[in-house]
Amino acid sequence: MITTIISIITAVLIFAGALLTLVASIGVLRLPDVYTRSHAASKSATLGIMFILLGACLYFFQKEGIFNSRLILAIAFIFLTSPVAGQLIIRSAYNRNIPMTDMTIRDDLKTAKMKSTDLE
């Protein structure tokens, strides 16, 4: 009984993870500029990979009775590093003056930067 429940949870986790990763890649194709693409890549891909790793951890725990702590560590590392990576990528894109999509309606950072150059 419990084995069935655990296998169902494992299957759902791995399927959800694969689905989220697929949606993230569709997002990278569909969204208009670097910044919005980074939204999709830094959120959906993170949770997708976390779900897949959790599913793998549960699978080996149930099938072979091994609790692989490395997978849990990997989940923690991805959780901590992936948002920072997204942040750094869009920050360097902004500093290289990569244009934003035409739909953009507001840019506070530009005004702040212009102010600071005026002061110099």
Partner 1 sequence: MAFQLLLNFLISFIWMFLKSSFAPDTFLIGYIIGLLLIFVTRRFFPTKFYLIQLLAILKLLWIFIKELIIANVAVLKIILQPKLAVTPGIFAMKTVLTKDWEITVLCNLITLTPGTLVLDISEDNSTLYIHAMDISDKEATITSIRNSFEKAILEVSN
Q: Which of 84, 85, 83, 13 shows the shortest CA–CA distance to 49?
A: 13
Site size for partner 1 (CB under 8 A):
39
Task: Decide if residue 119 touches partner 1 (CB under 8 A).
Answer: no
Q: Which residues of 83-101 are buried (b: 16+ CB within 10 A; e: fewer)?
A: eeebeebbeebbeeeeebe
Instruction: Give the footprint of partner 1 on residues 70-99 (CB under 8 A).
Output: 79-80, 83-84, 86-87, 90-91, 94
- Residues contacting 60, CB < 8 A, separation 6+: 66, 67, 68
Q: Interface with partner 1 includes 106 (CB under 8 A)? A: yes
The span from the CA of 111 to the CA of 27, in Å, is: 29
Q: Which is nearer to partner 1, 10 or 42 (CB)?
A: 42
Q: Which of residues 36-75 bind partner 1 (CB under 8 A)?
A: 36, 38-40, 42-44, 46-47
Smallest gap from residue 95 Cβ to partner 1 (A): 8
Q: Select 6 or 100, whichever has its Cβ closest to partner 1.
A: 100
Least Å from the CB of residue 18 to partner 1: 14
Considering Cα of 48, then 54, then 58, then 63, what sign does the dihedral take? positive
Q: Does 17 bind partner 1 (CB under 8 A)?
A: no
